[in-house]
Amino acid sequence: MRSPLPHFLLLALLLFQPGCFTRRGPRFDPYAKAPTAGAVTNLTQVGATNAIPAEWLHPSTAPFCLGPGDEVDIELLNESKGSTPALVGPDGMIYYQLLPGLNVSGLTLSETKALLEKELSKYVRDPSIAITLRKVESKRVWVLGRLNTPGIYPITTPMTLIESITKAGGLFTSRFSGTTEELADLHHSFVIRQGRMLPVKFHELIREGDMSQNIYLEADDFIYLPSALSTEVYVLGAVYQPRAVGFKDQLTLVSAIADARGTITDAYLSHVAIVRGSLASPEIAIVNYKAIVTGKAPDVRLEPRDIVFVPFTPYRTLKKYANLIINTFARTVAANEGIHAARQGDNAVGVNIDIGH
């Protein structure tokens, strides 16, 4: 006697007997061509609108001013007890002997000396003060990214962009290949000052030795050299969750915006921008996203490091629109990287990063 068929085989046979299904769904044609996204064809080159001013290539002649975190040595020459260290607190106040807190933030050393002598004259006859700078903490630059020792560094003397990169250990070197070529993306590196990205061309400076790009830095300048291995696409502007989207094969505009939770109600969908290439000389394409999502225009493929920007209002000139997008991108990256760097170091007294509005 034959052994009975396993129950699961019997069940399968019954399910696939003719007449088991009374309704049929839509047929699937395995040879049908799936709709494919097209390449961006209307990219327009947008040159930098601002040149580097000549004064940026020379050290500042402004005198040093004290700020939170700075340390000075104060000596009352009328006495022979030597110098006393004093710290400028987070509130800009300094304390010395019996004096109440004196606000010295923004004062030069000579102005601080005069203030101390004036206040001490209430207690000491004809006081004579000697004051020297012991340590600088209030004037710092952020040097982050693919560097050997990224961090927040004080400006003790006039510092150029190249000097700041050197202070941060230089470009990160692969211990396997011994090269830096593939590790730092110089075309997407940037400097932010007071909320604006400066028109510095890192590739020309570092690879070609163009010293016309070697600007002198100011306090709170933010320098960032991203990884060349990054393949993210940034989706910014009028979306519910502006963010970096991981690049995957055949990433399209629609899927990237979907990863950012979609567009908000007041978004201006007919002027969505795709920015590509070097931040110093980007290319920009304007896409009618509304036509894409309504089936009137094909979707477009994105490339690694593209910046997608959904505007709130229509743009007026392409150059200003590109500048708005590049600055928004740089401020967003700077804010994220700056917060991470500040959390790693507890000695960031008096340091802030102005990302603008």
Residue 315: count other Cβ atoms within 10 Å of its Cβ. Answer: 18
Domain boundary among 116, 135, 154: 135
Distance CA 59, CA 51 (A): 18
Asked whether residue 27 is assigned to any structural domain, the reply reads: no
Give residue 178's pLDDT band: very low, low, confident or very high (50, 70, 90): low
Q: Do 256 and 204 fall within a single domain? A: no
Amino acid at 242: P
Q: Are 289 and 235 in contact (CB under 8 A)?
A: no
Of 117-121, 160-164, 177-181, 297-301, minimum mean pLDDT range: 177-181
pLDDT confidence band for 12 (50 / 70 / 90): very low
Other Cβ atoms less than 10 A from the Cβ of 172: the count is 18
DSSP H or E stretch at residue 285: strand 283-287
Q: pLDDT band at residue 144, thresholds of 50, 70 and 90?
A: very high
CATH number for the domain that contains residue 89: 3.30.1950.10
User: 């004080």: which residue's tokens?
Assistant: 154
- Lowest-confidence range among 95-99, 176-180, 310-314? 176-180
Q: Are 201 and 261 part of one and the same domain?
A: no
Position 176 in a domain: yes
Q: Structural domain tally of the chain? A: 3
DSSP state letters, 103-169: E-TT-BHHHHHHHHHHHHTTTSSS--EEEEEEE--SSEEEEEESBSS-EEEE-SS--BHHHHHHHTT
Confidence of residue 357 (pLDDT cuts 50, 70, 90): very low
Band (pLDDT 50/70/90 cuts) for residue 81 is: confident
What does the pLDDT look like over 271-329, one tens digit per residue? 999 999 999 889 999 999 999 999 999 999 999 999 999 999 999 899 899 999 999 99
Q: Are 357 and 266 in contact (CB under 8 A)?
A: no
Domain co-membership, 242 together with 195: no
7 CB neighbour count, 10 Å cutoff: 8
Residues 237 and 190 in one domain: no
How large is the greatest C-alpha to C-alpha distance in the chain, in angstroms? 124
User: How would residue 331 be classed by pLDDT, with cut points 50, 70 and 90?
Assistant: very high
Structural domain contains residue 352: no
- Parallel, antiparallel, or unpaired: how do β-strands 44-45 and 283-287 relate? antiparallel
Domain identity same for 235 and 322: yes
Say if 166 falls within a structural domain: yes
Whether 21 maps to a domain, the answer reads no
CB 136 within 8 A of CB 126: no
Q: Verify that 258 and 185 share a domain, yes or no.
A: no
State whether 235 and 225 are in the same domain: no
In this prediction, residue 37 has a pLDDT band, given cuts at 50, 70 and 90, of: confident
Q: What is the pTM of this model?
A: 0.78
Both 254 and 294 in one domain: the answer is yes
Mean pLDDT of the chain: 84
Asked whether residue 35 is assigned to any structural domain, the reply reads: no
Confidence tier at 36 by pLDDT (50, 70, 90)? low
With 50 as the cut, is the pLDDT of residue 75 above it? yes
SS3 210: coil
CB contact at 8 A, 195 and 356: yes
pLDDT digits (tens, 9 = 90+) for 232-274: 999 999 999 999 999 988 899 999 999 999 999 999 999 999 9
According to DSSP, the β-strands at 222-225 and 140-145 are parallel
Shared domain for 217 and 238, answered yes or no, is no
Tokens for 88, please give them: 């400028």
Q: Are residues 196 and 216 in the same domain?
A: yes
Q: Are residues 236 and 321 both part of a single domain?
A: yes
Which residue, 135, 155, 175, sits at the end of a domain? 135
CA pair distance 267, 324, nearest whole angstrom: 16
- The whole-number pLDDT of residue 183 equals 81
In a domain, 87, yes or no: yes
- The token pair at 225 is 């050299």
pLDDT at 225 over 50: yes
What average pLDDT does the segment 15-22 reach? 38
3-state secondary structure of 204: helix
DSSP notation for 292-336? HHTTSS--BB--TT-EEEE-SS--S-HHHHHHHHHHHHHHHHHHH
Residue 210 lies inside a defined structural domain of this protein: yes
Where do the H-state alpha helices sit in 126-185?
161-167
**Candidate from 104-113, 159-168, 242-251 with smallest mean pLDDT:** 242-251
User: Percentage of the chain with pLDDT > 70?
Assistant: 82
- pLDDT, average across residues 151-160: 93
Residue 28 has pLDDT above 50, yes or no: no
Which tops the pLDDT comparison, 195 or 216? 216
Let me know: does 273 contact 284? Beta carbons within 8 Å.
yes
Question: Where does a domain end: 175, 199, 229?
Answer: 229
For position 2, what pLDDT does the model report? Answer: 45
- CATH number of 242's domain: 3.10.560.10
What domain range includes position 107?
71-135
Residue 147 and residue 120 in one domain: no
Measured on CA atoms in the order 204, 207, 211, 213, is the torsion positive or negative? positive
